[in-house]
Structure 1
């Protein structure tokens, strides 16, 4: 049966469940009263949805909250062990893979160093192998839990292009030109079947994480800056809700300045990146540790 705007009752029910789960995931535990207000649902609707989610094992009760002059309010939260998530950070010195439960508690971690750092070229098959090895390692680690694996997210340096044939990565600083990273990971046959795979720019994923769980919570506009071997930024505004990665490190700050590893001269990264800082320290007579 069609509802508002051509949506069926099933669509409306799915939207209500999604709204409740999102609010509990990002803001829980919450009482049903607070949850209804945050999710934009009536008290009757939120009670029905929460009861369904508890019956499905997705939500559980989490104690109570005292109320002045009234009955204590029962709190509910996402059932942490109902599912698991994997996050992968492809940095410029290592690949890190972490496994989380739905309360964002870390269950396991694996790291693989990237050899040949500073050569401006990383063998994408080596990187893909590190990702797949790390995923297998964290899933088999003691204490990894048994909840359903809901997705794998991969943050990478460079520009990420989503095409009909899969995700391509363009990263001049590490020598990647239209690298079909998604296809390499999928075609290996080592990822769990039918598990969603998300690949995006690492600065953008960091910015989104800060908006959800860190210093950007409650803000409408933010700039999240990443200083490492490279320099990056993510700009979040009302017009760019999920953030836009900015190649800030390759902004020219000095005409005909220091040579950047991207090949240009005078980039911010050539002065503020970790490798550049160590190089300038060494040039000034410093002795950086190995």
Structure 2
């Protein structure tokens, strides 16, 4: 059944679960009493959502704190072992692969150096494939337990319905590289494991807003300096960040060197 705004009961339930998990993820541990004002939900809704999340193994109790004259309040947190994810950073000098639990505690890491900033597509795909296999083997975690693989890459990322994610990287010589399809063909992961591929400046900007210098701020600009210059603007109008890459622009052919 849908309401006037088109949202169904399932949508509302999913939204309530999401907001509770987000607050526990970024601000936890929190008690049920604290989750009310933090999420804007009623105490009854908080109790129902928390009960569901505990039953699903996504949330667990994490001790208690004294209350003002009443019974101690039970603290809640995201259950670390309820999910795992892999993060990949394709940088200027190396490809770094990390395996994390649901609280972003690093469980294993692998690095593959890039010789003289060489970005051959086959080499990058091989580094990612071998790194994923290495961190899974080191942790003993089966690939079917992965919630997803996130990859930050230099260049412009295009999401297409037919070929998946394409990467346009002028500075690294990539022209519409079907990176997602190449990884699916090369990595032995179940088809149910999603790939999240995005510009590296954008992923770093979001990470800074969640866990770094921008935590708690409404807006921020994160700038990266390397062989090129990248930036990410995070603002209420661009919640997940708008990545920008600066480069050289030829104004006059055979003109003065920059």
Q: TM-score, normalised to structure 2's length?
A: 0.91
The structure that has the greater radius of gyration is 1
- Residue 149 of structure 1 corresponds to which residue in structure 2? 146
- Residue 41 of structure 1 corresponds to which residue in structure 2? 41
- Give the count of matched residue pairs: 255
**What aligned pairs does 1:22-61 form with structure 2 within 5 A after superposition?**
22-61=22-61
Give 5+ residue unaligned stretches, structure 2: none
- Distance (whole Å) between structure 2 residues aligned to residue 107 and residue 173 of structure 1: 32
- Distance (whole Å) between structure 2 residues aligned to residue 146 and residue 156 of structure 1: 22
Deviation (angstroms), 1:69: 3.0
Tell me the secondary structure at the aligned position of residue 180 of structure 2. Answer: helix
- Residue 191 of structure 2 corresponds to which residue in structure 1? 193
- Residue 123 of structure 2 corresponds to which residue in structure 1? 126
Output one character per residue of 1:81-109: Cα deviation in whole Å (capped at 9) or x when no partner.
01101100001111100000011110000
- Distance (whole Å) between structure 1 residues aligned to residue 140 and residue 185 of structure 2: 29
**Native 8 Å contact 2:125 2:186 kept in 1:** no
- Distance (whole Å) between structure 2 residues aligned to residue 215 and residue 265 of structure 1: 36
Shift of the 212–265 alpha-carbon distance from structure 1 to 2, 3 Å rule, reads farther
- Which runs of 4 or more aligned residues in structure 1 lie more than 3 Å from their structure 2 counterparts after TM superposition? 1-4, 142-147
Higher strand share goes to which structure? 2
**What aligned pairs does 1:228-239 form with structure 2 within 5 A after superposition?**
228-239=226-237
- Residue 273 of structure 1 corresponds to which residue in structure 2? none
Shift of the 28–89 alpha-carbon distance from structure 1 to 2, 3 Å rule, reads same
What is the aligned counterpart of 1:242 among 240, 243, 255? 240
- Distance (whole Å) between structure 2 residues aligned to residue 42 and residue 4 of structure 1: 21
- Distance (whole Å) between structure 1 residues aligned to residue 143 and residue 197 of structure 2: 24
Shift of the 4–17 alpha-carbon distance from structure 1 to 2, 3 Å rule, reads farther
Give 5+ residue unaligned stretches, structure 1: 267-290
Shift of the 224–127 alpha-carbon distance from structure 1 to 2, 3 Å rule, reads same
Shift of the 251–233 alpha-carbon distance from structure 1 to 2, 3 Å rule, reads farther
- Residue 2 of structure 2 corresponds to which residue in structure 1? 2
Tell me the secondary structure at the aligned position of residue 16 of structure 2. Answer: helix
Deviation (angstroms), 1:187: 2.1
- Residue 184 of structure 1 corresponds to which residue in structure 2? 182
**Cα RMSD over matched residues?**
2.4
